[in-house]
A and B are shown apart, each in its own frame.
Chain A
Amino acid sequence: MSRTEAEFTRPPQLPATHFVDNHVYYDEGVFAEEKEKILSKTWRFVLHESEIPEVYDYRTASVADTPLVVARGKDGKIRSFVNSCSHRGAAVLRRPAGNLRAWRCMYHLWTYDPTTGECTSRPRPEAFDAVGLRQEACGLREVRTELIYGLVFVNLDENCMPLEEYIGDSLFLQREMIDTVEMEVIDFFELNLKCNWKNWMETNMDLYHEFMHVANRKTSLQIPEYYTRNWHTFPNGHFTVDRYSVEYNKYPGWEDREDSLALPGMKEDEFQITDVFPDITFLTRGTVVRIDNQIPLSPTETLVQYRALGIKGESEEDRMRRIRDYHSIWGLFGRNLPEDCLGVKLQGDAIYGGQVPYTYWCREENNLSQDDIAARTWWKEWSRLMGRDQSQPFEPESTVAAE
């Protein structure tokens, strides 16, 4: 039976943790508050240390609308600064990556030291000195930067907890494969998706959606062990799910993966996902690690960055096979990623107009694979930080936040 207007618009008869008021996906006020309370207060992944291996290497990033440059100083340490000239605000570095011993703003030629962020020269400085704006006070703003397992994170909140405490044990199933041998980024691309950043994040924590993927229907969803894996949840909104083995040769044109390419601690056909709040997902398919992170641009537009990790120093042949494994499913022209793009696009098309009130995260299956416990864990942390329940974001009292 179809639903009437009253049935459609009333809150679902479910626990408050089990559904979402769709305003949280498109409301401008909610988005502004997320930037203030979540995106600029939590640890945000910006790059893998292999992206800036040499002294003076730098890489730009964007966190909660703040333009950043992450650089390896002459002492080998990685630091981050706001990538905006202290004079009239121009971005100091305009390429996404490079190697420079000094950073010179192109506008009026102020220069900065990549190790310390200090301002090192200003043409005709007397006129600044005359009004008391001394060079020592013109350094770039430094941003807290910490590493774990080669992953570089920043936090715009100087008073945040240490990164290690934030991550806790959540990477226990990923650690061996990314921290045993030296890894490096072997592929990078971005998607500019017309979706709310949380919709992309949800795709990465919703295993029930895997029915959409023809490749998964052929290689995974016929396997009993697929359904009997457990989710593990961690403080601060992170979670991970146990592994299973994929039958790659069941998809036309695919072969089984090469066991010699398996990453440490993984079998070549195993699959593993870990989500780190708020926007990071580690996905491993035996031979290659994928890392998604997000740059929300507006409530309904998101830049998602995709990195693949391989083993540093491996043979050219192994490298190419690893890259081909990665792209066969997760590439722009792979089997699954286009379908994930379509899923979030169609959600946006229907929901962001504001006339579809609620959606569900209500599956209960003893915390097994297709239980929605992962999404509920994520939303619980979102609600705690926002002081609003995702199911009734405009109610004055948050029940989740009060817990």
Chain B
Amino acid sequence: MTIDRNKITDLIYDSCALLDDERFDDYIALCTPDFTYRITAFSEEIRKPMEWMYQTRENLLELLKAVETHEVAVAHLRRVASMVRIGEAQNGIVPVRSTVSVYHTWYDGDTRLFAIGTYKDRITTDGDSPLLASREVMLDTRRLASGSHIPI
């Protein structure tokens, strides 16, 4: 099977842009039914791997839908995925890594780097369009300027 690289990079683009635009239903539509989402980091301080978020597709959608009820602390996040590396497919799953930088723009237009890390995705290519089977966001940044109700 040949992998359509463009479709995979489009999927990664959409996964960033749809969260940026807070189009949560459309974001979740990019995910398989058993999708899992994690945010992780390695702590140099306690010398252990850490998990900062774990969600199933269903729970993530519920949390994202509740965002509009909250006072969001970050006005606008922009996720920039680059350095995309598409691995060898195994059992219908393509491992894909990309670098993600997240920029925060406050209401007055001031922009700061929010965090940087790696998207470690597992992507299925069974159907017409590839889908995210899982995403792990491995953060380099462990000292942030704010928390965020919307994940990255």
Report A's interface with B, CB cutoff 8 A: 51, 59, 95-98, 185-194, 212, 214, 251-253, 303, 320, 323-324, 327, 331-335, 337-342, 345
Residues on A with C-beta less than 8 A from B146 are: 191, 193, 338, 341-342, 345
Tell me which of A98, A252, A332 contacts B144 (CB under 8 A). Answer: A332
* B147-A214 in contact (CB<8A): no
* B148-A333 in contact (CB<8A): yes
Shortest Cβ distance from B43 into A: residue: A188
* B143-A190 in contact (CB<8A): yes
**Does B73 make an interface contact (CB < 8 A)?**
yes
Q: What are 18 residue pairs bridging A and B, where the CB atoms are less than 8 Å apart in the complex?
A: A95-B44, A185-B46, A187-B43, A189-B143, A190-B143, A191-B145, A214-B69, A320-B51, A324-B54, A327-B51, A331-B52, A332-B144, A333-B39, A333-B52, A333-B148, A335-B149, A338-B74, A341-B73
- Helix, strand, loop or mixed for chain A's interface? mixed
Interface residues of B in 61-91 (CB under 8 A from A): 62-63, 65-66, 69-74
Taken together as a complex, chains A and B put the C-alpha atoms of A253 and B149 apart, in Å, by: 14
Taken together as a complex, chains A and B put the C-alpha atoms of A97 and B150 apart, in Å, by: 31
Report B's interface with A, CB cutoff 8 A: 39, 41, 43-48, 50-54, 59, 62-63, 65-66, 69-74, 142-149, 151
| A-B interface, 6 closest residue pairs, ranked by CB to CB distance from nearest | A338-B147, A253-B62, A338-B73, A342-B73, A337-B147, A341-B146
Residue from B45, B74, B145 with most neighbouring chain A CB atoms (10 Å): B45
Tell me which of A51, A323, A339 contacts B45 (CB under 8 A). Answer: A51
Tell me which of A190, A193, A251, A333 contacts B142 (CB under 8 A). Answer: A190
Residues on B with C-beta less than 8 A from A341 are: 73, 146-147
* A327-B45 in contact (CB<8A): no
Taken together as a complex, chains A and B put the C-alpha atoms of A192 and B144 apart, in Å, by: 6
* A253-B59 in contact (CB<8A): yes
Task: Give the distance to chain A from B77, nearest Cβ to Cβ, in Å.
Answer: 11
* A97-B47 in contact (CB<8A): yes
* B53-A339 in contact (CB<8A): no
Task: Give the distance to chain A from B144, nearest Cβ to Cβ, in Å.
Answer: 6
Residues on B with C-beta less than 8 A from A252 are: 62-63, 65-66
Shortest Cβ distance from A306 into B: residue: B147
Taken together as a complex, chains A and B put the C-alpha atoms of A336 and B48 apart, in Å, by: 24
Residues on A with C-beta less than 8 A from B44 are: 95-97
Residues on B with C-beta less than 8 A from A253 are: 59, 62-63, 66
* B73-A339 in contact (CB<8A): yes
Residues on A with C-beta less than 8 A from B41 are: 189
* A189-B73 in contact (CB<8A): no
Residues on A with C-beta less than 8 A from B45 are: 51, 59, 96-97, 188
Tell me which of A59, A185, A186, A339 contacts B70 (CB under 8 A). Answer: A339
* B143-A303 in contact (CB<8A): yes
Residues on A with C-beta less than 8 A from B43 are: 187-189
Task: Give the distance to chain A from B118, nearest Cβ to Cβ, in Å.
Answer: 17
* B71-A339 in contact (CB<8A): yes
* B54-A332 in contact (CB<8A): no
Task: Give the distance to chain B from A215, nearest Cβ to Cβ, in Å.
Answer: 8
Residues on B with C-beta less than 8 A from A186 are: 46, 48
Shortest Cβ distance from A212 into B: residue: B71
Task: Give the distance to chain A from B56, nearest Cβ to Cβ, in Å.
Answer: 10
* B63-A191 in contact (CB<8A): no
Taken together as a complex, chains A and B put the C-alpha atoms of A331 and B73 apart, in Å, by: 13
Known A-B contacts A214-B69, A252-B65; the reply to A191 vs B46 at CB < 8 A is no
Taken together as a complex, chains A and B put the C-alpha atoms of A327 and B54 apart, in Å, by: 9
Taken together as a complex, chains A and B put the C-alpha atoms of A97 and B43 apart, in Å, by: 10
* B52-A327 in contact (CB<8A): yes
Residues on B with C-beta less than 8 A from A98 are: 47
Query: Can you add 12 more A-B contacts, CB < 8 Å, to A186-B48, A331-B52?
Result: A186-B46, A187-B46, A188-B43, A190-B142, A191-B143, A192-B144, A252-B63, A324-B51, A332-B148, A338-B147, A339-B70, A339-B71
